[in-house]
A and B are shown apart, each in its own frame.
Chain A
Amino acid sequence: MHCKKVRQQMSLAVGDDLEPAAAEVIQQHVATCPECEKAWEQHRRGFAVLQQSRVALERTKSDSIWPKVAVKIQARQTDARRAEFNGWIAGLAVLAACVLVFVFSQDGTLPSTTRRAPHETLPANMLKLPIARPNQPSQSLWRGQRAPESLLRQSVDQAQPGKDDY
């Protein structure tokens, strides 16, 4: 085997991470190649350093973190239930508000926000116009539509002061 390939696999062989057959080939090569033998020794020393630095953490059964984890799980579940309950409360409040708005809007007791016709907000004598009735042409005056000529003339006549007014 070529030296370059041997050295690539050497770092795996040093930790027994190669197949036995491949490890055997490396061992045979190292035994006959002084440069690769040096490299092998370096790798062995480096691996030994890592092995020496292994020290287990001292822990006893009383050190178990389960009681703390259990408390946190309980706290999370309580928080989740509370959040769910609060969500329901908020939802119900919104629903109740919607129902109230709907009911009052049906009764007509709430002030309408839509634009009203002048004859709905001003006295008829101030407008000097005929009172708008459903299905009458004057109803469309406030909507910017042109009124019939006869109606306009009638409105002007009514708005002009009579002789008795002076």
Chain B
Amino acid sequence: MTRTMEQDAHIDDALESSGSSDARLVDAARRGDQAAYGELVRRYEHRLARVIFRFVRDHDLAEDLSQETFLKVYDRLDQFDTSRRFGPWLFRIGVNLTLDFLRRKKRRLRWSLFTDRFKERVPDPGVDDPRRAMDLQQEVHTVLQMIPEKYRTVLVLRDLENFSTAEIAAILHRKEATIRWRLAEARHRFQYYWGKRHGTAMPAGFTPSEDPERDHAL
């Protein structure tokens, strides 16, 4: 049976509130109690993998990055302030790791495009345009890729992963007002590109604070 995201979120919340507090588990893990750290991993692994998957769209890669995140968190446990919540700190490390990975991947892709620039790529007429086979999720992902990273990250965390703006502010280490402004911009841009790709009329007087056509240049 496929669980919905809301159900998963409730499960995560229930796990979070049950048993020892995160801070207590972190303290135990710092003293070398690996079982305590295992408990923390089990509490957050599904949510973290899901968040990372929203960015990378690859289950295996999301799992690898989740593992890497938990290893990094383990190495940095001494730096964690136990008076604060563990979840946002963990997600901050996970999201930053994922965004760094995507930036490196983008740079490599640019380089390979540059080095292959003389190789002509002829589309195979026997193969359908892959865009036709895209389902809704892929199409949404394609549109999300058109939005600059700072807006896209907020949109994914808020509208696809249902984090509150306060939680996103904690994860991204920004003021909540900044997050709300970015969220508004992100939704405007998503609306703009979605409408453009699907031929729906744009709302009259659409005035994002920056020209969305410049997004690709960013």
Contact = CB atoms under 8 A, between A and B. Distances in A.
A122 to B, nearest CB: 66
A70 to B, nearest CB: 6
A97 B46 CA distance: 55
B53 A73 contact: no
User: Chain B contact residues: over half helix, strand or loop, or mixed?
Assistant: helix
Interface stretch (A50-58, A112-120, A135-143, A146-154): A50-58
A79 to B, nearest CB: 13
A50 B140 contact: yes
Interface of B: 2-5, 7-8, 34, 37-38, 41-42, 45-46, 49-50, 53, 59, 62-63, 66-67, 70-71, 74, 136-137, 140, 155, 158-160, 162, 165, 180, 183-185, 187-188, 190-191, 194-195, 200-207
A72 B136 contact: no
Nearest to A64: B42
Given A3-B205, A50-B190, A58-B2, 14 more contacts: A7-B206, A11-B187, A15-B187, A38-B204, A42-B203, A47-B187, A49-B194, A50-B155, A50-B159, A53-B160, A56-B7, A57-B46, A59-B46, A70-B34
A9 B209 CA distance: 12
Contact of A50 (B37, B53, B160): B160
A49 B136 CA distance: 8
B2 A56 contact: yes
